[in-house]
Amino acid sequence: MHELLMNNQEIWDLFTRKEEYSPEKLDEHHRFLFSEKDLRNASEPEVSRYLIENGMQVEFPENKSFAVCLTHDVDDIYPPLSHSLLSSAYCLKQLNFQEFLAQSLWKLRGIDYSPYLNFSKIMDLEASFEAKSSFYFITAEADPVRFRYNIDDIQHHLGEVSDRGWEIGLHGGYYSYDNPEKIKKEKESLEAILGKKIIGFRNHYLRFKTPDSWEILADAGFSYDSTFGHRYSVGFRNGMCHPFIPYNLNTGKEIDILEVPLVVMDTALFSTSKSFDEAWERTRNLIDTTASLNGVITLLWHNFVFSCDFRKDWVRLYEKVLQYCSRKGAWMTSGEEIYRWWADGA
Ligand SMILES: [Zn+2]
């Protein structure tokens, strides 16, 4: 394994992501465009390594040595036409007529039969490994692709998720990431339906502006964010494999929010891996690295994947992660529980 030799200034610049303050280039969604070098180095959590080597100590409940933060962005609760067509074609090819009917005829039976209302199924899977997770729901109406869903339609699903002890957080709208008023409104809508406060956040499309987004989220009353990660690769965006309090270089102050950095997003992982084996190997390396530094690795698996016949490999990889991390003795839980543990100990 290579070791990057960095001096204190470089460690600090990486931790604060100084270069993101005045980006030369943004992508089509106005996200920071990482260099090839950034993406290559993202597999090494240099800042966390530095902190641990300099005496930082991290503990987890029941003496677990590291944690896995499991999360799901709920982009859709009804399959969009493109998914339905792909799923139907896949089922027909496999001669699986029962699944074909389930995928294509749910609308006739009512929205409650939508295959993407699959939260119980996901929770059951996680529960079988003594794990929990976070589900981030959209309440924004505007979206660049299509109207997503009306949160009022699934109140009883939210109730079930919350009653079982899994977390419900906000998946901030595409157009809201730089708009404090919109973010506050979306948070209030979700809280009204749920009947309790929410503390966790991730933005749709991982839209994020360093450091402004943290300030906006802290003002809106969120306790933690988990947007800060990579879209075009996997790994550690600021060299951290631990949750951290972000620092604003403009004000010279810490921001009152915890970042639980995102490390592996399903779509990013599979779009940059040539095979299932390569995707698994990259994920396992990130897990091993995180475990060796008593860190927290955050995974994002979209909920639709679990009811999508053409994404079976992605579910297989998720199950492999649960199995591997469970054997390795990880604490596998939601962003909310990571936050509460961190806030208590810090
Ligand atoms: Zn999303």
pTM comes to 0.92
In the numeric block, the tokens 């649960």 are attached to 322
Per the listing, tokens 């036409």 go with 81
C-alpha of residue 23 to centroid of ligand 1, in Å: 23
Nearest to 333 by CA among 297, 306, 285, 293: 297
Name the pairing type of β-strands 253-254 and 247-248.
antiparallel
Cα 45 to Cα 237: distance, rounded to the nearest angstrom: 9
Residue 1 pLDDT level (bands cut at 50, 70, 90): very low
* Mean pLDDT within 245-270: 97
Alpha carbon distance 343, 178 (integer Å):
26
Backbone angles phi, psi at 225, to 5 degrees: -125, 150
Residue 234 has pLDDT above 90, yes or no: yes
> What is the Å distance from ligand 1's center to 1 Cα?
34
Quickly state the pLDDT bin for 2 (edges 50, 70, 90). Answer: very low
203 C-alpha to ligand 1 centroid (Å): 7
Ligand 1 centroid–CA 80 distance in Å is 14
Q: Could you identify the residue written with the tokens 């295959």?
A: 115
Mean pLDDT of 12-31: 91
Please state, rounded to an integer, the average pLDDT across all residues of the chain: 92
Q: Which residues pair with 70 in a beta bridge?
A: 299
Q: Please give the C-alpha separations between residue 126 and each of 248, 315, 323, in angstroms, as whole numbers.
A: 36, 12, 10
26-54+66-77+116-345 maps to which CATH number? Answer: 3.20.20.370
Q: Rounded to the nearest whole angstrom, what is the distance from the C-alpha of residue 74 to the centroid of ligand 1?
A: 7
CATH 3.20.20.370-classified regions of the chain: 26-54+66-77+116-345
Instruction: Indicate if the pLDDT at residue 68 is higher than 90.
Output: yes
Among 2, 18, 52, 94, CA closest to 240: 52
Tell me the CA–centroid distance for residue 169 and ligand 1, in Å.
12
Rounded Cα distance between 280 and 214, Å, is: 31
How remote is the CA of residue 147 from the centroid of ligand 1, in Å? Answer: 12
Three-state secondary structure string covering 182-226:
HHHHHHHHHHHHHCCCCCEEEEHHHCCCCCHHHHHHHHCCCCEEC
Mean pLDDT of 66-85: 88
Q: What is the pLDDT of residue 101?
A: 66
What pLDDT is stored for residue 4 in this prediction? 56
- At residue 89's C-alpha, the angle toward residues 83 and 93, to 5°, is 145
CA of 61 to the centre of ligand 1 (A): 31
Distance (angstroms) between ligand 1 centre and the Cα of 207 equals 9
Provide the pLDDT for residue 104.
65
Three-state SS for 10? helix
Q: Please tell me the distance between residue 47's alpha carbon and the centre of ligand 1 in angstroms.
A: 28
* Cα-to-centroid distance, 170 and ligand 1 (Å): 10
d(CA 106, CA 267): 26
Each residue's pLDDT tens digit, 95-119:
676 776 666 666 666 677 788 899 9
Distance from the CA of 76 to the center of ligand 1, in angstroms? Answer: 9
- The helix/strand/coil state of 27 is coil
Q: Which residues surround ligand 1, an ion (CB under 5 A)?
A: 73, 75, 204
Q: Read off the pLDDT of residues 309-326 as tens digits, 9 standing for 90 and up.
A: 889 999 999 999 999 999
pLDDT at 41: 78
The pLDDT of residue 5 is: 64
Ligand 1 centroid from CA 230, angstroms: 14
Q: How confident is the model at residue 34 (pLDDT cuts 50, 70, 90)?
A: confident
